[in-house]
Amino acid sequence: MKKAIILHGMADSKEEYDGHEAEHHWIPWLKTELEAQGLQVVAPELPEPYHPIYEAWKEVFEGLAPDEETVLVGHSCGGGFLVRYLSENTLRVGKVLLVAPYLDPDGDHIPEFFDFPVKRNLVSQTEGVTIFISADDDSDILESVRIIKDSCDGIVTREFVDKGHFTFGEMGTREFPELLVEVN
């Protein structure tokens, strides 16, 4: 059965973390839409998203048993996690959709999480990698996207000018139809 795994990003801080990062922004809407299409969808709550530990996120991710029938969607740090995981492993998966992926390019937030080289042929172990980026996002995100595009062959980008970091506050909606189209 075709399935999807949706990974959220970082919480701003431990104090602001509400225990429900996977229920923010467009994630619940996308999950509902994909389930209506017959996909099995998991959007796990990743451990300590206010200061993520790669090994802890890796354990959760591997427990979901992604395979060639799995579409992977990652927002911000969740997208950066997917880039690292696929760079360090030979796992073959379906499409990979990175929404405003974050790699901490300045190394000033969680440098140990992103201490890895991006694999040049990462796309070859997928059915394609598409990055969603908005010109009005933070400079760290724009730089992360540049790093990924410069390091990987075959990356496709969907560029916007007014979606910010693809959050509810910046998009003004929980719906993200452009992302839904790319899953199919």
In the chain, domain spans: 3-183
Yes or no: domain 3-183 corresponds to CATH 1.20.120.1200: no
Q: Which of 44, 41, 122 is nearest to 87 (CA)?
A: 122
What is the reported pLDDT for 17? 81
* Residues 131, 156 contacting (CB under 8 angstroms): yes
The phi and psi torsions of 69 (rounded to 5 degrees) equal -95, 10
Q: How much of the chain exceeds pLDDT 70, in percent?
A: 99
pLDDT of residue 13: 81
Q: How far apart are CA 97 and CA 75, in angstroms?
A: 9
Higher pLDDT, residue 4 or 111: 4
pLDDT, average across residues 103-128:
94
The confidence band for 12, taking pLDDT boundaries of 50, 70 and 90, is: confident
| Predicted confidence band of residue 11 (pLDDT cuts 50, 70, 90) | confident
Q: pTM of the prediction?
A: 0.96
Region 148-167: what's the mean pLDDT? 97
pLDDT in the model for residue 99: 98
167-181 average pLDDT score: 95
